[in-house]
Structure 1
Amino acid sequence: MKVTINDVAKHAGVSIKTVSRVTNKESSVRQATIDKVNAAISELNYQPNLAARNLASTKSYVIGFIYDNPNAYYVIDMQNGILSACQDKGYELLIHPCDATSASICDELTTMVRHSRLSGLVLTPPMSEDPKILAALNEINANYVRIVAGDKTDELNGLTVLVDDKHGALEITQHLIDIGHSDIGFLSGDEQHESTKERLSGFKSALTNNKLAINDNWILEGKYSFESGVEGANKLISLPNRPTALVACNDEIAAGALFAARLAGLDIPKDLSIVGFEDSPFSRQTWPKLTTVHQPNVKIAKVATELLIANSKQSVEKKSMVFTPEPVIRDSSSKP
């Protein structure tokens, strides 16, 4: 027969309410009681019914993950980080892909929050950077945490986890300059993502800091996709005066650029150095492996979710945190 909360309470010698408080990880329970209840749960192999708990409780134990991102590796990392925090805290995860450009996106998200009885939302770019979406969620007093590009915590409102993309791009560009490159191109991602602007800003800052000219003809607009990397690289390597190195806005773009360069007969990195951003599996699946910028997406997502859950119980004092990506030097970059 299935073990129930009544069996756990009887085995531990406590009330059903106490077992519920322990499984809900409420902070007011004494450690000795927690240990006793957890021992009973382990001995009886009790599995709490989270769906029933949500129905019976006035408090929700469901976190929503909202995303619009074509990069499957990024989405999977986010899911894993959020799920890890949910499992640690006894919450369930609701995953909701959406179209950030939809005219009805605000209604879609507010309706979902109400109907799904969400404890909170984890917002990733570009939704986390859209003032209209944030205003709509604020209007219904939704609990949410934003993952955004930047480093200025003093300008923030609400729960925010920042990724200092500008620093990462500056450092990876400086790596290319340090090994002798002065003619460097840049392949952008989607313009609606703040990360694109921050990474381009870091790239330009590195050139300016080293008194190198910024060649606008070598800075190409694009998408966060392999195909965009192929297209951008083909344009740049066909120029009579082409750059000796490329900074790509993410690893998928960099992998596409590397593919195009090798098809054109270029040796990587002898003829052209290519670097990426994020340290996704793309960076380790290419040949040669990509020099890139490590962005700990799983950890970022987990920290954001922990901050969100803590705020759902009581208003947290520390409402923001900054992650600083750092270069990972591999085989796709060398002196020109």
Structure 2
Amino acid sequence: MKVTISDVAERAGVSIKTVSRVINNEPSVRAATRQKVLDAVKSLNYTPNLAARNLAGTHSYSIAFIYDNPNAYYVIDMQNGILEACRAKGYELLIHPCKSKSPVIHSDLKKLIEHGKVAGLILTPPFSESSSFIETLQSMDVEFVRIISSTNKEQIKGKSVQIDDRQAAYNITQHLLSLGHKRIAYLSGGEEHLSTLGRQQGYSQALEDAGISVDKQLIIEGKYSFESGEINARKILDNDRPPTAIFAANDEIAAGALFTARMLKIDVPGQLSIAGFEDSPFSRQTWPKLTTAHQSNQEIARSAAKLVLEQIQNKSAKGCNGSDSEDKTQRSFIPELIIRQSTGPAPE
């Protein structure tokens, strides 16, 4: 027969309500009592029915991951990181891909929260960067955490996990400068993303600090895709004064640029150095492997999930809107420079 919460309560010698509090990781349980319940759960091999918990009362045990991103590697890393945090706290994860430009996105969001009994959400760009989207969530009784570039840090309010794209891009450009490169092109991603702006700012600042004027002809607007890198690299390389290095706004763009270099019979890194960003599988599946900035999406997602779960539990325990300290609701990551074979000394 299936083990029930009543069996756990009887084994531990406590009430069903106390078992529920322990399973939900509520702080208002004495350590000794908590341990008795956990021992009973383990000995009986009890697994709580999360769906039944959601239906049983007003408290929800689900969080939702909201995204609009075609990069499967990014999405899988995010899901794995969030799932790890959810399982540790006994929560379910609702994965919700959607179109950020849909005319009914706000009403769909409200239906998701109300009908799915969602206690919290994790938002990735472009949702995390949309002021109207944030306003919609603030009007509802739901916790949320934004994963967002810290490019405009002073404008980021509330709970967030921030990625310092600017500093990471500065470090990549500085690496290329240290190899003797002076004509460094920047292949941009979509302008609608804050990360694009932050990465370009880091690139420009590194050049200026080295006493090199930013040449706007070496900055090419594009999209975060292999095809964009392929096309824009051809534009920048097929002229009288081509760059000796390319910094691409992500690894897909960099892989596209590397493909174009091969088609033009340009040696990498002998004649041209190429660097990407994010350390996605694209950076390791090319030859030569790409210099990049390691962005741990799984760790970022796990941190965001822990943060939103903390807020949910604080709200439940205190009967208010979570922590009083704004500083404790913001966490940050700086992607780390990874030097590989695609960058080398500037040609004579």
Structure 1 and Structure 2 fold alike (TM over 0.5): yes
The answer as to whether partners of 1:153 and 1:320 remain within 8 angstroms in 2 is no
Deviation at 1:147, TM superposition (A): 0.9
| Alignment deviations for residues 152-194 of structure 1 (CA, whole Å, 9 cap, x no partner) | 6554321111111000001100000011000000111111110
Deviation at 1:4, TM superposition (A): 1.3
Deviation at 1:261, TM superposition (A): 1.0
Query: How far apart, CA to CA, are the structure 2 residues paired with 1:155 and 1:299?
Result: 24
Query: How far apart, CA to CA, are the structure 2 residues paired with 1:156 and 1:291?
Result: 30
The answer as to whether partners of 2:128 and 2:148 remain within 8 angstroms in 1 is yes
Match of 1:239 in 2: 239
Query: How far apart, CA to CA, are the structure 1 residues paired with 2:156 and 2:200?
Result: 22
Q: Residue 50 in 1 paired to residue 60 in 2? A: no
Q: Residue 133 in 1 paired to residue 119 in 2? A: no
Match of 2:177 in 1: 177
Query: How far apart, CA to CA, are the structure 2 residues paired with 1:152 and 1:242?
Result: 32
The answer as to whether partners of 2:251 and 2:278 remain within 8 angstroms in 1 is yes
Query: How far apart, CA to CA, are the structure 2 residues paired with 1:141 and 1:131?
Result: 17
- One-letter amino acid of the counterpart of residue 111, structure 2: T
RMSD over aligned Cα atoms: 1.3
- Aligned residue for 2:173, secondary structure, equals helix
- Aligned residue for 1:173, secondary structure, equals helix
Q: Calculate the TM-score normalised by the size of structure 2.
A: 0.93
The answer as to whether partners of 2:224 and 2:252 remain within 8 angstroms in 1 is yes
Query: How far apart, CA to CA, are the structure 2 residues paired with 1:170 and 1:143?
Result: 34
The answer as to whether partners of 1:66 and 1:98 remain within 8 angstroms in 2 is yes
> Where do 5+ consecutive residues of structure 2 fail to align?
315-321
Match of 2:340 in 1: 330
Deviation at 1:248, TM superposition (A): 0.6
The answer as to whether partners of 2:151 and 2:195 remain within 8 angstroms in 1 is no
Matching of residues 243-282 of structure 1 within 5 Å:
243-282=243-282
- The count of corresponding residues between Structure 1 and Structure 2 is 336
Query: How far apart, CA to CA, are the structure 2 residues paired with 1:94 and 1:279?
Result: 27
Query: How far apart, CA to CA, are the structure 1 residues paired with 2:142 and 2:250?
Result: 31
| Alignment deviations for residues 201-242 of structure 1 (CA, whole Å, 9 cap, x no partner) | 111111111111222122111111111111111111212211
- Aligned residue for 1:84, secondary structure, equals helix
Matching of residues 24-35 of structure 1 within 5 Å:
24-35=24-35
- Aligned residue for 1:265, secondary structure, equals coil
Query: How far apart, CA to CA, are the structure 2 residues paired with 1:113 and 1:211?
Result: 52
Match of 2:90 in 1: 90
Deviation at 1:258, TM superposition (A): 1.0
The answer as to whether partners of 1:246 and 1:272 remain within 8 angstroms in 2 is yes
Query: How far apart, CA to CA, are the structure 2 residues paired with 1:253 and 1:40?
Result: 53
Match of 2:14 in 1: 14
- One-letter amino acid of the counterpart of residue 186, structure 2: F
Q: Residue 36 in 1 paired to residue 36 in 2? A: yes
| Alignment deviations for residues 10-64 of structure 1 (CA, whole Å, 9 cap, x no partner) | 2222221121111111111122222221122112111110000111121111101
> Where do 5+ consecutive residues of structure 1 fail to align?
none
Match of 2:189 in 1: 189
Match of 1:144 in 2: 144
The answer as to whether partners of 1:71 and 1:224 remain within 8 angstroms in 2 is no
Query: How far apart, CA to CA, are the structure 1 residues paired with 2:313 and 2:7?
Result: 28
The answer as to whether partners of 1:71 and 1:225 remain within 8 angstroms in 2 is no
Q: Percent identity?
A: 54
- One-letter amino acid of the counterpart of residue 312, structure 1: I
Query: How far apart, CA to CA, are the structure 2 residues paired with 1:127 and 1:294?
Result: 23
Query: How far apart, CA to CA, are the structure 2 residues paired with 1:141 and 1:157?
Result: 17
| Alignment deviations for residues 92-116 of structure 1 (CA, whole Å, 9 cap, x no partner) | 0001111111122222212211221
- One-letter amino acid of the counterpart of residue 44, structure 2: L
Query: How far apart, CA to CA, are the structure 2 residues paired with 1:290 and 1:138?
Result: 41
After the TM superposition, list the runs of 4 or more consecutive aligned residues in structure 1 that deviate by more than 4 angstroms. Answer: 151-154
Deviation at 1:118, TM superposition (A): 0.7
- Aligned residue for 2:180, secondary structure, equals coil
- One-letter amino acid of the counterpart of residue 43, structure 2: E
Query: How far apart, CA to CA, are the structure 1 residues paired with 2:60 and 2:295?
Result: 31
Q: Calculate the TM-score normalised by the size of structure 1.
A: 0.97
- One-letter amino acid of the counterpart of residue 235, structure 2: K
- One-letter amino acid of the counterpart of residue 95, structure 2: I
